[in-house]
Structure 1
Amino acid sequence: MTVDPPLRRDAERNRRRVLDAAAQQILEHGLGVALEDIARAAGVGIGTLYRRFADREALVEALFDAHVDGVVALAERVLAEDRHGRCVERFVTAVAERQAAELGLSQVLRTGPHGTALAVRARERIGPLAERLLERDRADGSVAPGIGAGDLVLIEIMIGAVQRAGGPQDDTTWRRALSLVLGGLRTGVDGSGAAPDDEAIDRLQGSEGR
């Protein structure tokens, strides 16, 4: 296995500028925004952009991976905290806050032609951490026994829909919706079947951009 050498400081700075500009441009103009416009917003030449990202697909993948890196870091931070109880609640809240700050970037990225593959990649990395959080909370009773990892994705989708409907200025409504949902983590949901499986989650996430 070969490991890419670390980028020089200026090259890494340019890469970060392109990613930040791409996130903003995609949110404002959609996935079809011209790469030239992204380079211009980043303050770099189009050649610099192509040296870091071979094409649009590579850029979108890098943006999505950066988002997943952030979610993984949130889960790992909660797992590392020397606190007991409501680990899942703290994780879900942190993810929702990050989602609000990004204005739903992950949902936009998943609407592209490779959205399902990206979502599967995210699930492979985040799923095991979500299970560890759930196991810890089930042990102390702060999460109902029937709650599964698919439910956490379902919460992300539901809260994301409220955030997009309310817009960036409405911080109150999605937090109220989240508070209502978190109550279900503790009490469980009667008579509604099992947590959504991977197929159901893929179907739900695939419909977000329609």
Structure 2
Amino acid sequence: MKPFDNYEISGCQRLDDAGTPDPNGSITVTCDDDEAEFWTLYGHVQGVRVEALGDYSSREAAEEVYQCITGQPFPNLYESDPHIRRMHLAAEAFALLERAASELEIWQMSCGPEGDPDTQAILGEIRHLFARAAGDGSDEPAPSRDIAITWSVEDVLEIRPDLSEVQAIQVLQWAKRKHDATIGINWEVLACHAEFLFGDAPATPLRLT
């Protein structure tokens, strides 16, 4: 059985045998929203079938169900959405990705004991994606491939309250300029930079404004 390749939401009303609107009528027809008694979500398979999936008291309720099915808001256009096509290709895409990951694993073996860092990071993201698809991992995205540790003006003033905010910014800029990856930035490093730029801290420091 082919999956739905499109969806439609239409306002509907019931008619009696004479074609007059009747909430208890036996005939259901589509209509404009301002005449609708309820809204129906339809699934389409182009050239094969149209199937009513459910009736809802409002268009918004029908759109919420559509979003639950497809993972995206209703597009308000009667067209085959690329997102739906990608959904149907997911199984093929995952199979291809699994083959590519296997080839990358083999290639990694030729890159020494540690392998290539960028490739290793990509493989980690792929494994995380497979775990999410299998329901064995968190729905959160894979951890970032970059990290950043932030030092602020307040941190500088914590160790050198005698400095002004402008001077504290200069200390941070100097620390960035003179950054040594083997040491990093810590309280002692900031204190040394502050001392280099503005001299020793006073015995009883006063906070400048």
| TM superposition score category, shorter chain reference | under 0.3
* Alignment TM-score, normalising by the size of structure 1: 0.22
Q: Greater helix share, 1 or 2?
A: 1
Bigger Rg, which one = 2
Q: Greater strand share, 1 or 2?
A: 2
